[in-house]
């Protein structure tokens, strides 16, 4: 992602009317660079589709991929704001582990009565996460202790509490099915399924698994609605710009972009529909991504975070309460770390002492692959999400290929370095 597109949906694309027609060409170049990351993700997916002989895009595997990586992406949303505001949070993996342990203790061990209901426990855990974020953010915002140090301390502290809570090396479980649905559940098919090809029934009267083709219609409807809404709002924004006399990006570019994105989305939706529908965790993630895109691009608080990261002193002298804003960024990070912890615990079906161990590095890597600047002030939500998926697809693809875990780390490290070097090179050239 290029720097010139901090918040602002049309940034880098829009030009004043008085510009020359050459703008169309330069807009294309700018956009190619901006979408370079998404193209990279597609290229990586195609690569693994071939090397895993088609396993990657199998509906079962897509569901796995989402369930295995959603917690990284959820936490990357918070980490993006932390990094844009010029800080870092090393504690997220430990906080996630601690919250998972806390949730398990509340649901399984402690006699809490009605309070051990998964929903109540989840809400309490999110609040605890926010409190942890506030406790760390307080030192960073109001006492100007470097975030690296505060959260390094947090990383040690919460991993320790997590292990102590679980009584040393043991794990706590099994967690109730209602809780596990957060990670392993699928949305219910309220419309009913559509059978395109009836499954083959064998001589013993049993259906052969994998035969036939049944579509999860609720999934299809949600997918279509999302794609139509995407196209509609894109078109409406364009119209509005033109009505007010501003040039939007070239129409062909807009059409190509919308069509490619929609086609990709519909393909994935179709794959999910042929299996068991959309995973619940994917829905949670989708809503959060949309929310954070909106907050960073359209809301004043988002703008203020970018301004603070770009030049904290100037932001302060423009009337922005930078201390309070920093505190809020860390509270947000705490809540999302807690959600990440719940997702991990729900996927494993139990709380283990090593849950989330080292995941802070994956989260931070996702944000930097997504084009955020370590100096603060630059970075995009979509970039961080795509960065997270790049990491996830590589994890998944290499596992299927049977690449050793040790070498997977080497490859991920090289990709992180390569992505950032490419980004810096591009910026210097442009």
Looking at residue 174, what DSSP letter applies?
Answer: P
Selected range binding other proteins among 8-16, 252-260, 337-345, 417-425, rule: CB under 8 A? 8-16
Q: Among 151, 154, 182, which residue's Cα sits nearest to residue 282?
A: 182
**Residue 320 vs 342, nearer CB to other proteins:** 320
Q: Taking the CA of residue 1 as centre, how many other CA atoms within 13 Å lie in the half-sphere pointing to its CB?
A: 25
In the complex, minimum distance from the CB of residue 85 to other proteins, in angstroms, rounded to a whole number: 13
Q: Sketch the per residue contact string, 217 through 246, with other proteins: x for CB under 8 A, - otherwise.
A: -----------------------xx--x-x
Task: State the nearest-atom distance from the C-beta of 301 to other proteins, in Å.
Answer: 7
By the rule CB under 8 A, 251 interacts with other proteins: no
Distance between CA 29 and CA 35 in Å, rounded? 10
* Closest approach of other proteins to the CB of residue 318, in Å: 4
Residues 6+ apart with CB under 8 A from 57: 45, 49, 271
Whose Cβ is closer to other proteins: residue 3's or residue 55's? Answer: 3
Beta carbon nearer to other proteins, 164 or 229: 229
Contact 351, 141 (CB under 8 A): no
Q: How far is the CB of 140 from other proteins (least distance, A)?
A: 20
Contact 298, 266 (CB under 8 A): no
What residues from 180 to 209 belong to the interface with other proteins (CB under 8 A)? Answer: none
End-to-end CA distance of the chain: 12
Q: How far apart are CA 337 and CA 334, in angstroms?
A: 5
Strands (DSSP E) along 78-231, which ranges? 193-197, 213-216
Q: Which stretch binds other proteins (CB under 8 A): 15-23, 95-103, 252-260, 336-344?
A: 15-23
Closer CB to other proteins, 110 or 232, in the complex: 232
19 binds other proteins (CB under 8 A): yes
Shorter beta-carbon distance to other proteins: residue 206 or 243: 243
Distance CA 47, CA 43 (A): 6
Q: Per rule CB under 8 A, is residue 15 in the interface with other proteins? A: yes
Q: Residue 82 or 355: which CB sits closer to other proteins?
A: 82
Query: Residues 377-406 vs other proteins: string with x where CB under 8 A?
Result: xx----------------------------
Nearest to 225 by CA among 262, 186, 272, 279: 262
* C-beta of residue 362 within 8 angstroms of C-beta of residue 72: yes
Q: Choose the binding region for other proteins from 6-14, 133-141, 364-372, 407-415 (rule: CB under 8 A).
A: 6-14
- What distances in angstroms separate CA 207 from CA 335, 338, 373, one per listed residue? 45, 42, 54
> Which of residues 10 and 64 has its CB atom nearest to other proteins in the complex?
10
- The site string for other proteins over 291-330 (x = CB under 8 A, - otherwise) reads -------xxxx-xx-xx--xx-xxxxxxxxx---------
Instruction: State the nearest-atom distance from the C-beta of 24 to other proteins, in Å.
Output: 15
Applying CB under 8 A, does 137 fall inside the site for other proteins? Answer: no
* Count of residues engaged in binding other proteins, rule: CB under 8 A: 39
For 158-289, strand residue ranges (E) read 193-197, 213-216
Q: Applying CB under 8 A, does 8 fall inside the site for other proteins?
A: yes
CB of 248 or CB of 281, closer to other proteins: 248
Between 8 and 349, CB nearer to other proteins: 8
Which residues lie across from 216 on neighbouring strands? 193
Cβ at position 72, least distance to other proteins in Å: 27
Q: How far is CA 223 from the centre of its chain?
A: 18
SS3 of residue 194 by DSSP:
strand
Instruction: Report yes or no: 84 and 330 within 8 Å, Cβ to Cβ.
Output: no
For tokens 């980490």, what's the residue? 79
Nearer to other proteins, 340 or 377 (CB): 377
10 Å Cβ neighbour count for 91? 28
Between residues 257 and 321, which has the closer beta carbon with respect to other proteins? 321
Nearest in space to 59 (alpha carbons), one of 197, 215, 289, 198: 215
Question: Please, which of residues 344-383 interact with other proteins by CB under 8 A?
Answer: 373, 377-378
Least Å from the CB of residue 327 to other proteins: 16
Cα distances (angstroms) measured from residue 275 to each of 22, 49, 209, 366, 424: 47, 18, 11, 28, 41
Residues in the site for other proteins, rule: CB under 8 A?
3-4, 6-12, 14-16, 19, 240-241, 244, 246, 298-301, 303-304, 306-307, 310-311, 313-321, 373, 377-378
């Amino acid at each position: 992602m290029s720097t010139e597109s901090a918040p602002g949906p049309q940034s880098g694309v829009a030009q004043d009317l008085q510009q020359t027609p050459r703008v169309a060409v330069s807009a294309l170049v700018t956009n190619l660079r901006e979408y370079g990351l998404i193209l990279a993700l597609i290229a990586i997916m195609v690569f693994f589709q071939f090397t895993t002989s088609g396993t990657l895009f199998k509906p079962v595997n897509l569901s796995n991929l989402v369930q295995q990586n959603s917690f990284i992406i959820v936490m990357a949303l918070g980490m993006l704001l932390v990094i844009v505001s010029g800080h870092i949070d090393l504690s997220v993996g430990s906080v996630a582990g601690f919250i998972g342990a806390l949730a398990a203790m509340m649901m399984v061990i402690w006699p809490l009565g009605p309070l051990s209901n998964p929903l109540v426990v989840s809400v309490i855990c999110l609040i605890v996460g926010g409190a942890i974020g506030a406790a760390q953010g307080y030192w960073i915002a109001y006492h100007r202790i470097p975030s690296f140090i505060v959260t390094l301390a947090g990383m040690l502290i919460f991993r320790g509490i997590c292990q102590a809570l679980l009584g040393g090396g043991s794990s706590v479980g099994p967690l109730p099915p209602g809780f596990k649905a957060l990670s392993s559940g699928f949305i219910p098919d309220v419309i009913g399924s559509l059978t395109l090809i009836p499954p083959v029934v064998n001589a013993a009267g049993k259906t052969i698994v994998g035969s036939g083709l049944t579509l999860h219609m609720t999934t299809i409807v949600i997918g279509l609605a999302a794609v139509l809404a995407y196209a509609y709002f894109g078109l409406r924004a364009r119209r509005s710009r033109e009505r007010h006399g501003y040039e939007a990006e070239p129409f062909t570019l807009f059409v190509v972009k919308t069509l490619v994105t929609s086609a990709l989305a519909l393909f994935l939706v179709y794959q999910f529909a042929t299996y068991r529908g959309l995973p619940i965790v994917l829905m949670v993630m989708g809503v959060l991504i949309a929310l954070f895109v909106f907050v960073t691009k359209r809301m004043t608080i988002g703008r203020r975070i970018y301004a603070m990261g770009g030049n904290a002193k100037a932001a302060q002298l423009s009337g922005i309460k930078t201390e309070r804003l920093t505190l809020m960024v860390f509270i947000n990070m705490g809540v999302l770390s807690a959600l990440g912890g719940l997702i991990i615990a729900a996927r494993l079906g139990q709380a283990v002492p090593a849950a989330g161990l080292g995941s802070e590095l994956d989260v931070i890597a996702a944000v930097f692959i997504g084009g955020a600047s370590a100096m603060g002030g630059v970075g995009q939500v979509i970039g961080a999400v795509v960065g997270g998926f790049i990491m996830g697809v590589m994890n998944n693809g290499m596992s299927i290929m049977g690449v050793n875990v040790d070498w997977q780390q080497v490859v991920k490290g090289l990709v992180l370095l390569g992505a950032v070097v490419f980004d810096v090179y591009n910026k210097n050239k442009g």
